[in-house]
Structure 1
Amino acid sequence: MKKILITGSNGLLGQKLVELLLKQPHVQCIATARGANRLPFTEGYAYYSMDITDREQVNDVMAQVKPDVVVHGAAMTNVDQCEFEKENCWAQNVKAVEYIVEACQQHNIFLCHVSTDFIFDGTSGPYTEEGEANPLSFYGWSKYAAEKVVEHSKLRWAIARTVLVYGIAYDMSRSNIILWVKKSLEEKKNIKVVTDQWRTPTLAEDLAMGCFLIADQEAEGVFNISGKDLLTPYEMAIMTAEYFGLDKSLIAQADSTTFTQPAKRPARTGFVLDKSQTILGYAPHTFTEGIAILAGQLQ
């Protein structure tokens, strides 16, 4: 049996990972998050409350569980909030990674660390794994610093970078572009969506599968784990409207200067997936397939 511990199990990626691991007969799943367990599944895994910013808690849980692999998905991901709450962001996105790395070194645990396209400045996307980092936001800097902590450790490690994750999770307060467009158009609201940013949006189930493939194979190095379609948010909105048969004329084109956001966003990211497809056997869904999967979960 392979023991895989997940951080951030109450979040979107965490929930999808637990769900996926429960289907693997050779895997023992250990879910961890801050505070109470909010997972909709009640059996087949162990749950430990673990605050990743508390070094002692991290050490205690790791020593108790001694997993073979840790998939570290917990992070502060609200980009604008990170700009305002820099200390909080650094504690969750960098210091916490130092504690996890330390505990993994102590118990010879393989670490799969989840990172982001926001480590790039968006001038030359889509990026391969070798792309040069140049973050534009404090969130991006925190995630880049965390990557360096992992890379400079003595661990066996992998970094799974992802882009604009969307999906539906149990008891989730946060929306995503598909749900936002669907709700707005159903309410006959006019919306403005940007045409000058490009992403390869990632279905949460695909990200979970990518992390599982890394964890299961203990594949070392950096891997791009995202969707395969390079799209603007405007194109995503149009595709969503088309899928649900909603009025596209309510969707107006805008450029990013129309919106005032505290944190700068990279213009063109997106990922080249050749490495993860070849080495891991990663096979993501198209964006339209992703919408269909998400629509099925709304029933």
Structure 2
Amino acid sequence: MGSKIFMAGVGGMLGEAFHHTFSQSHEIVCTDKDVNAPWLSFLDFRDREEYARQVLAMKPDYLFHIGAHTSLEYCEDDIADAYATNTLPVENAVWLANRLDIPLLYISTAGIFDGAQETYDDWDQPNPLGHYARSKYMGERFVVENAARYLVCRAGWMMGAGPDKDKKFIQKLMAQLKAGAKELKVVDDKLGTPTYTRDFAAQVKVLVEQELWGLYNMVCAGVTSRLEVAQYLVKALGKDSEIAVSPVSSDYFAQEYFAPRPPSERLLTAKLDLRGVNVMRDWRVCLDEYLADKYQGYLG
């Protein structure tokens, strides 16, 4: 396994896990346009020339292209920027990786499926519904069709990094509880698979070390729903007797979350399982660990 990794777009919740997982064993350069940690340096990877300059200067053994606009609503509101950020830089990353003859890591998403099926394995055909999903899927396709060696890893409902960087479901619920909410309204018509960022990064490390290139569904074990995750969270916090979790349909949040979302984003880790390399744990185990690691004292 090579010693040098260039990581682009690692200022967010997933980037925290990649830095944690790889910093002890590799020489890494971690970049983002939001320099919010001492281990980050500035790079807006939408700047093709500067992206190339920094990567070619390092001459890494691997290129990890991590960042993206992940707000579905933002991508519907600013379609041009969605593709300028989520798709075009991926094409540049493929060119760089091929020029250096190194493997490329690209992060895709369960959201590229339309939800017509209840579950999706690694070989099911994506059919993105909105511009976030489409911009990510076009990036995935370009990598698969053009990169000489690659890992495309599809994540599910992400959780990790704690209150400062987690912008997703768990932190949104925790913020409501911190604000004193006694009731959480949660949709009962959205199915999926949580993904703990630390497990995700650890799984990438396994695949890189064994050079098992290809496309993988990469989510925690245990297909579930938004409602079940919220119910488990409240119970794990020991607050199920004082906090009500009330099911609502997606229509309840239609104004706030107007971007199209599939009814099911449940991924199956068929390829990881068949290759005998799956280190992704059950989402409940991961959520317990996440709460213990990042939310001690958060609720007072």
Distance 1:154 1:292 in 2: 37
1:82 equivalent among 66, 71, 75? 75
Asked if the contact 1:182/1:241 (under 8 Å) is kept, the reply is no
The change in CA–CA distance for 1:229 and 1:72 in structure 2 (over 3 A counts) is same
Partner of 2:286: 290
Distance 1:177 1:154 in 2: 33
- Aligned: 1:268 with 2:264: yes
Q: Which runs of 5+ in 1 are unaligned?
A: none
Count of aligned pairs:
290
Worse-matched range after superposition: 146-155 or 9-18: 146-155
Distance 1:58 1:216 in 2: 25
Partner of 2:99: 106
Worse-matched range after superposition: 98-107 or 184-193: 184-193
Matching of residues 1-299 of structure 1 within 5 Å? 1-24=2-25, 27-36=26-35, 38-39=36-37, 48-169=41-162, 171-172=164-165, 174-185=166-177, 187-247=180-240, 250-260=244-254, 261-279=257-275, 281-296=277-292, 297-299=294-296
Asked if the contact 2:162/2:171 (under 8 Å) is kept, the reply is no
Distance 1:170 1:65 in 2: 32
TM-score normalised over the length of structure 2: 0.90
Distance 2:9 2:157 in 1: 17
Q: Which runs of 5+ in 2 are unaligned?
A: none
3-state SS of paired residue (1:152): helix
Distance 1:109 1:235 in 2: 41
The list of structure 1 runs, each at least 4 consecutive aligned residues, that deviate by more than 4 angstroms after superposition, is none
The change in CA–CA distance for 1:8 and 1:170 in structure 2 (over 3 A counts) is farther
CA RMSD, aligned part only? 1.9
3-state SS of paired residue (1:102): helix
3-state SS of paired residue (1:265): coil
3-state SS of paired residue (2:266): coil
Asked if the contact 1:277/1:283 (under 8 Å) is kept, the reply is no
TM-score normalised over the length of structure 1: 0.90
Worse-matched range after superposition: 193-202 or 251-260: 251-260
Distance 2:85 2:164 in 1: 22
